[in-house]
Amino acid sequence: MKELSRPEAEAILSEKFGIAHFYDEQWKVIDALLHGQRILMIEKTGFGKSLCFQFPAILFDGVTIVFSPLIALMRDQVTNLNKRGISAGCINSGEEPETNSQTLADAIHGKIKILFIAPERQGNQEWQTALQTMKISMIVVDEAHCISQWGHDFRPDYRRIRNIVNAYLPTDMPVLAVTATATPRVQQDIEEQLGGRLTVVRGELMRKNFRLFVIRTTSEEEKMV
């Protein structure tokens, strides 16, 4: 793929997503992915992390696989992407087996640019077979703290993702892991699980509209007042 300047990218962004400009941190991540780098992005909820994989995905020749633990979020993103003319699909336990099979076939035949899949589906034989023939352009790990045993929402099936990243992908294929919550220990574990060599982009996680207060009480009953 030819070198893409930020103004050129933002022209595509406006046309495809109806957004005029990237945040600086978004462009930093996107530009790195377009150059085949592996990124761990830690940014607050609502920052626009999804755009950081959706945008490069439409430029790559192949399918971007997004591992996500949230079925409702998968469906919302698929609906929104399809409305914008960007072919997307999802595979999860909430879909009929026939639907999942058709979505997988569409991905194999290049009819889908972004494929969302629940990590638990990796044990499925149909998925494992398809993985051998699918033209993968990028791997995305959403809610990446789930891959860490030190994360607050650890899910063992996330550990299988490292097998794809470390065994199936060439070292110059882009990988993006995103999360809104990662302590230094969780961050280190994510990096190790995904084979190291990750560039970490950590934003300001504190939100200006959040306030924390400490109210001292003298009894359990007073806490309920």
- The domain locations on the chain are 6-223
Which residues have C-beta within 8 Å of that of residue 148, sequence separation ≥ 6?
Answer: 154, 182, 185, 186, 189, 190, 193
Q: Is the pLDDT of residue 182 over 70?
A: yes
CB 131 within 8 A of CB 139: no
* Contact present, 116 and 90 (Cβ < 8 Å): yes
**pLDDT, tens digit (0-9, with 9 covering 90-100), for 30-85:** 999 999 999 999 998 889 999 999 999 999 999 999 999 889 999 999 999 999 99
CATH assignment of 6-223, given 1.10.3720.10, 3.40.50.620, 3.30.930.10, 3.40.50.300? 3.40.50.300
Q: Looking at the predicted structure, is the pLDDT value of residue 150 above 70?
A: yes
